[in-house]
Amino acid sequence: MTRCGNLPLACYAALRYNPFVTTRQITRYGSRKLYDTQARRYVSLEELARHVRDGEHLRVTDKKTGLDVTTQTLALVVYEQARQGAAVTSEVLHDVIRSGIGQLQTRVDEIVHAGVDRMKPLLRAREEMDRLRAGMKEIERSLREFGGDAKQEKGRRAAKGTGRKQAKKKN
């Protein structure tokens, strides 16, 4: 399985489909400086890479034109990591160029959907386990109530028995 950082590659692709993933807004200035509006400071390409590895989604806009330059910025991140010796092989890059980004996107989508399909039975099993746990808790509660009723009944019988013994002694 292909891994990137601490998570499998398919997990990163799945983040696109997660509505709970927030988007970190980055502004690129003419001097190529990158400003993180959330952190309120300038950031490096390495910091952007760390945000992506941590599962964050980035949106980079050019300050002057207002255009979305996220793709170009992420390409720079990949370039910088490859230049520093990261594990991006030339074979992978050749395949991306040969097949085109569209086919790469299609393949990633297939991997994500296949992973989700494999998880459906696990989710059903988990739901069943939750129902079984709820049933067990109900049984335990009933047993505690029954046990409490039995103790009370035993206490009542003992009290009646003590009352009879005392009445017999008086006679």
pLDDT tens digits, one per residue of 60-74: 999 999 999 998 898
Look up the domain containing 80 and give its range: 1-8+19-88
Q: What is the spatial distance between Cα 154 and Cα 64, in angstroms, rounded to a whole number? A: 85
Q: Does residue 119 sit within a domain?
A: no
Give me the pLDDT at residue 52, please: 86
The single residue listed with the structure tokens 């028995």 is 161
pLDDT in tens, 136-148: 999 998 888 887 7
Establish if 70 belongs to a structural domain. yes
Q: Is residue 41 part of a domain?
A: yes
| pLDDT tens column, 23-75 | 899 999 988 899 999 999 999 999 998 988 888 889 999 999 999 999 889 88
The DSSP letter of residue 66 is -
Q: Count the domains in the chain.
A: 1
- 3-state SS assignment for residue 42: strand
Task: State pLDDT tens for residues 86-127.
Answer: 666 777 777 777 777 777 777 767 777 777 777 778 888 889
- Contact assessment for residue 55 and residue 12, using Cβ atoms and an 8 Å cutoff: yes
Tell whether 102 is covered by a domain. Answer: no
